[in-house]
Amino acid sequence: MNIMFLIGMPFAGKTYWAKKLSENYGVPYIDIDEVIEKAEGKTVSEIFETDGEANFRILEHRLLETIIDTYKRPLIVSCGGGTPVFYDNMEIMKKAGCTVFLDAGIATLADRFEQKEDANERPLLASVSDIKSELQQLFEKRKNIYKQAHYILQAEQISIANFDKIFSVCISSR
């Protein structure tokens, strides 16, 4: 497969870098949350609220499998923060392509959260009083999965140049 999966915490820059890499390398990208929102006609927060997180995770898992089963050309996938954490998604992604963990510090994530206009629409972070504490707790739950990625990049130091070798290994030679 020729798929690069970008994983990491909310606000790590997965969608931003998927778009940048797509533009730079001429490879299409898919944002899992965006595809689910379009298919369901609801935001991720609305899906969490009306259908529950468990149903959202099923949609996410099915979409991941569909992408892997049907997309035969090079592709960059921006995963939701929880995508690798549920079911056997991380193992599925690692077998189907390359996983790249965008590892951002809690202070960076909190700063980005505070700067985003739609930040409160993130279902696991909406209406929290101490965003740094909440992000730290979420990271502690997820870090062992994230760190299984093929590659780990420090989000605060990422550039297109950081991706050149990874891209050539993940997309070009598989």
Q: The whole model's pTM is what? A: 0.90
What is the CB-side half-sphere exposure of residue 115 using CA atoms within 13 A? 7
Rounded Cα gap, residues 93 and 34, in angstroms: 18
Task: Count the Cβ atoms, other than its own, within 10 Å of residue 145.
Answer: 18
Rounded to whole angstroms, how far apart are CA atoms 159 and 11? 16
CB–CB of 18/92 below 8 Å?
no
pLDDT for the residue numbered 173: 47
More confident site: 110 or 14: 14
Taking 90 as the threshold, does the pLDDT of residue 171 lie above it? Answer: no
Total domain count for the chain?
1
Q: Which domain holds residue 84?
A: 3-172
Residue 32: count of CB within 10 angstroms of its CB: 21
115-165 confidence digits (pLDDT tens): 765 545 555 555 656 778 888 998 999 999 999 999 999 988 899 988 888
Find out whether 115 and 11 touch, Cβ atoms under 8 Å. no
- Residue 98 near residue 2 (C-beta atoms within 8 A): no
User: What CATH number corresponds to the domain at position 94?
Assistant: 3.40.50.300
pLDDT of amino acid 119: 45
Task: Find how far residue 15's CA is from the centre of its chain.
Answer: 7
